[in-house]
Chains A and B, each alone.
Chain A
């Protein structure tokens, strides 16, 4: 026996959960989407993902080591998740140098200037993505047409995303029923055979990820379900009002980044609300904003902006929307 007994206070037991395990859980949940994106976009997907992940890790390492001069914690998995998510939001033919710049913005600007993990108000991957979208609009909106390893990287054939086709078409006075001929069928979109960012295309892969996240209790259902539900309801209403001007709800859910955003981006621990009531409100607001941007805004896609806007409200929501305490309000049956 050691002479000194440890007399730290209770509890004297700790669960098995660690930050690293949670982050690695997210990485596992992202794997189906990664595989499908390699399947659809080939070598480009591999290059962009590797560039993004490696540069996020390197920036995090350099900043922790030389700027913060604190112990390096890149093994906690958070930079890995940011790197994957950033890549998933990019087209598979984007030049590596732009990926590195995007990673720098995500890690150095959006995460580390606020003090690192746990302190950033905005989702780092999304900040990186939106920064790139605004700075390099051409490269960020040319989407390779999925053709597996035939897609190539620098020489990829590009086309518009279904959302952009619809948006442009409606602007030009075409009816939705005509436009629907030009976009992939719903089943194709469900599997992921369409133009778009690497990680967002395959609904089935993302939903598999969701099931895993829920099963492992890494996230709760509140945020994804409230976003998806709100978008479904809102677009159904618009569609019922005028089916010739508005795409149907299934299309809205399958096309673009709704699933990637609601399952993986909006649920980021650090930048989402901390209690279930606030989570649902947050999710509903993201859903409404997404549809508003898609239908009336300048961009065909609105998920990233909607999430970033709502990120800004999270501190406020955490302060004013609180869980009901046990014994606070008493109704006895």
Chain B
């Protein structure tokens, strides 16, 4: 029996249209817009001015404080303006606009294609390099990686978990990366292990990617402490807590972090970025993005410079289909719908999924028939129908007691509800209000 997490979860159609399409290189666009706070944490300070000439890889904004991250230019050219934009999350953010001139990289980056196997940096130097290079979690949460590598006083980490699950339908960027950059990923994992001072790492991969499992298993023979674990297909296995439960059967308590059970989770994409930062001295300014959708004529996987407008990606994938109804940045289960094609690719953009008008239509909700299917699929065993009702009625205290704040917004409940009830919409609102109320209470 293949391992998986015990309760809840769903099996949405996989629709992995691009698993067999090698990663291509999207040409550098004519201009980019780089939001400077592409991470959870304190906003960064822009350190370039309008009119400045910047090179590819040059630092353009610095993180403030520990939980923050640097941002680098993804192109060479002139800063045309510094302004605020709406990013993929719908929030306003300062961003650096650059008009591209050529593609001149900063000199410190090792652009050779040799694989650098020897890890010379010390654990502290690795953390420092990750911070300097602007490495954040590339699975979508974009949490600064150096923070995750710093185990606080009194806590112990004994295992590194690597997320190669890619449980979202449609997305294949991690899958392709594992196939094409397997060795680099394993070196990246070794680097992470060194920084965390742990002896073992487990990579979890769902069994719908047998080629990646085989490939990495073969390569891992040459790496000490790294093992590959096929997992049963089930969404949301890529959620940190679910992955930890599936791989090492430890349950992260509600309101706690993986570190509280001795584990740290990184994504395979992040491991690759760490490899490039530490071994090649290359800051994070490009990433693999899956551009997909049933209506696209050429769905594909591309290495894309951060800041590229998503319209460019859709063009490269065969152009915008006439009946497009929705464009999602990220996967269909947890991604965000974007309002226009100028929205730039950011560090957390794992995919762009185009839906036709038909596919993006929501059906009319009916009354709750109390079938309890939403409870059955909630990976956290919450009671979504109840949380929705409490949020709708404004009963926030009760909602807090029912642990609305535990909800990870995986969307399994809304996906499953036969009455098409918009459960997560209400739960999300309720959760935000409960968090706000709790914060106010703490201030008093």
* A residues adjacent to B (C-beta < 8 A): 1-2, 5-15, 17-19, 21-22, 73, 76, 78, 116-119, 220, 269-270, 272-275, 322-328, 330-333
Determine whether B35 belongs to the interface, using a CB cutoff of 8 Å to chain A.
no
Q: Closest Cβ of chain A: how far from B254's Cβ, in Å?
A: 4
Whether the pair B372, A325 counts as a contact (CB closer than 8 A) is no
SS class, residues of chain B in contact with chain A: loop
Nearest residue, chain A, Cβ from B408 = A326
Q: Which of chain B's residues 346-377 have a Cβ closer than 8 Å to chain A? A: 353, 355, 357, 360-363, 366-373, 375-376
Q: Interface segment, B94-102, B116-124, B417-425? A: B417-425
Q: A12's contact among B353, B371, B419, B428, by CB below 8 Å, is which?
A: B353
Q: Closest Cβ of chain A: how far from B250's Cβ, in Å?
A: 5
Q: A8's contact among B334, B337, B368, by CB below 8 Å, is which?
A: B337
Whether the pair A6, B360 counts as a contact (CB closer than 8 A) is yes
Whether the pair B380, A325 counts as a contact (CB closer than 8 A) is yes
Determine whether B325 belongs to the interface, using a CB cutoff of 8 Å to chain A.
yes
Q: Closest Cβ of chain A: how far from B395's Cβ, in Å?
A: 13
Q: A118's contact among B10, B249, B337, B370, by CB below 8 Å, is which?
A: B370
Which of chain A's residues have a CB closer than 8 A to the CB of B425? 9
Whether the pair A10, B325 counts as a contact (CB closer than 8 A) is no
Q: A22's contact among B361, B406, B418, B428, by CB below 8 Å, is which?
A: B418
Once the chains are docked, how many angstroms separate the CA of A270 from the CA of B385? Answer: 13
Which of chain B's residues have a CB closer than 8 A to the CB of A7? 326, 337-339
Nearest residue, chain B, Cβ from A274 = B372
Which of chain A's residues have a CB closer than 8 A to the CB of B415? 11, 13-15
Which of chain B's residues have a CB closer than 8 A to the CB of A10? 328, 330, 332-337, 409, 411, 424
Once the chains are docked, how many angstroms separate the CA of A323 from the CA of B249? Answer: 19
Whether the pair B337, A13 counts as a contact (CB closer than 8 A) is no
Whether the pair A274, B381 counts as a contact (CB closer than 8 A) is no
Q: B251's contact among A73, A220, A275, A331, by CB below 8 Å, is which?
A: A331
Q: Which of chain B's residues 382-435 have a Cβ closer than 8 Å to chain A? A: 382-383, 385, 403, 406, 409, 411, 414-420, 424-425, 428
Whether the pair B406, A5 counts as a contact (CB closer than 8 A) is no
Q: Closest Cβ of chain A: how far from B382's Cβ, in Å?
A: 7
Determine whether B283 belongs to the interface, using a CB cutoff of 8 Å to chain A.
no
Determine whether B109 belongs to the interface, using a CB cutoff of 8 Å to chain A.
no
Q: A117's contact among B8, B369, B379, by CB below 8 Å, is which?
A: B369
Whether the pair B418, A18 counts as a contact (CB closer than 8 A) is yes
Nearest residue, chain B, Cβ from A117 = B367
Once the chains are docked, how many angstroms separate the CA of A15 from the CA of B357? Answer: 17
Given the contacts A10-B333, A21-B418, A326 and B379 also touching, CB distance less than 8 Å: yes
Determine whether B241 belongs to the interface, using a CB cutoff of 8 Å to chain A.
yes
Determine whether B252 belongs to the interface, using a CB cutoff of 8 Å to chain A.
yes
Once the chains are docked, how many angstroms separate the CA of A8 from the CA of B340? Answer: 13
Whether the pair B326, A325 counts as a contact (CB closer than 8 A) is no
Which of chain B's residues have a CB closer than 8 A to the CB of A22? 369, 371, 418
Chain B interface residue bracket vs A: 35 or more
Once the chains are docked, how many angstroms separate the CA of A127 from the CA of B124? Answer: 72
Whether the pair A328, B254 counts as a contact (CB closer than 8 A) is yes
Q: Closest Cβ of chain A: how far from B351's Cβ, in Å?
A: 12
Given contacts A117-B367, A327-B380, 8 further A-B contacts (CB under 8 A): A8-B362, A10-B333, A12-B333, A17-B418, A274-B372, A325-B382, A326-B254, A331-B251
Given the contacts A12-B353, A15-B12, A323-B375, A2 and B324 also touching, CB distance less than 8 Å: yes
Q: Which of chain B's residues 295-341 have a Cβ closer than 8 Å to chain A? A: 320-328, 330, 332-340
Given the contacts A11-B332, A15-B416, A269-B369, A332 and B250 also touching, CB distance less than 8 Å: yes
Which of chain B's residues have a CB closer than 8 A to the CB of A331? 251
Nearest residue, chain B, Cβ from A326 = B380
SS class, residues of chain A in contact with chain B: loop
Determine whether B7 belongs to the interface, using a CB cutoff of 8 Å to chain A.
yes
Nearest residue, chain A, Cβ from B254 = A327
Once the chains are docked, how many angstroms separate the CA of A270 from the CA of B369? Answer: 6
Nearest residue, chain A, Cβ from B379 = A326
Determine whether B444 belongs to the interface, using a CB cutoff of 8 Å to chain A.
no
Once the chains are docked, how many angstroms separate the CA of A331 from the CA of B409? Answer: 25
Determine whether B253 belongs to the interface, using a CB cutoff of 8 Å to chain A.
yes
Which of chain B's residues have a CB closer than 8 A to the CB of A12? 326, 328, 332-333, 335, 337, 353, 355, 360
Which of chain A's residues have a CB closer than 8 A to the CB of B373? 17
A-B contact pairs, 24 of them (CB 8 A): A5-B337, A7-B338, A7-B339, A10-B330, A10-B333, A11-B424, A12-B353, A13-B169, A13-B333, A14-B363, A18-B418, A19-B369, A118-B370, A323-B375, A324-B381, A325-B380, A325-B381, A325-B406, A326-B7, A326-B254, A327-B252, A327-B253, A328-B381, A330-B253
Determine whether B261 belongs to the interface, using a CB cutoff of 8 Å to chain A.
yes
Which of chain A's residues have a CB closer than 8 A to the CB of B385? 274
Determine whether B256 belongs to the interface, using a CB cutoff of 8 Å to chain A.
yes
Given the contacts A11-B415, A326-B379, A327-B254, A5 and B424 also touching, CB distance less than 8 Å: no
Whether the pair B253, A119 counts as a contact (CB closer than 8 A) is no
Considering residues A11, A272, A330, which has the most beta carbons from chain B within 10 angstroms of its beta carbon?
Answer: A11
Whether the pair A332, B251 counts as a contact (CB closer than 8 A) is yes
Once the chains are docked, how many angstroms separate the CA of A331 from the CA of B332? Answer: 34
Once the chains are docked, how many angstroms separate the CA of A278 from the CA of B143? Answer: 39
Whether the pair A333, B249 counts as a contact (CB closer than 8 A) is yes
Q: A275's contact among B253, B366, B383, by CB below 8 Å, is which?
A: B383
Once the chains are docked, how many angstroms separate the CA of A275 from the CA of B381? Answer: 10
Q: A19's contact among B326, B379, B418, by CB below 8 Å, is which?
A: B418
9 closest Cβ pairs, A-B complex: A11-B411, A274-B372, A118-B367, A327-B254, A7-B337, A17-B418, A326-B380, A12-B332, A6-B326
Once the chains are docked, how many angstroms separate the CA of A258 from the CA of B367? Answer: 30
Once the chains are docked, how many angstroms separate the CA of A72 from the CA of B367? Answer: 13
Which of chain A's residues have a CB closer than 8 A to the CB of B252? 327
Which of chain A's residues have a CB closer than 8 A to the CB of B256? 327
Q: B414's contact among A11, A78, A323, by CB below 8 Å, is which?
A: A11
Q: Closest Cβ of chain A: how far from B329's Cβ, in Å?
A: 10
Q: Closest Cβ of chain B: how far from A1's Cβ, in Å?
A: 5
Which of chain A's residues have a CB closer than 8 A to the CB of B326? 5-8, 12
Nearest residue, chain B, Cβ from A322 = B383
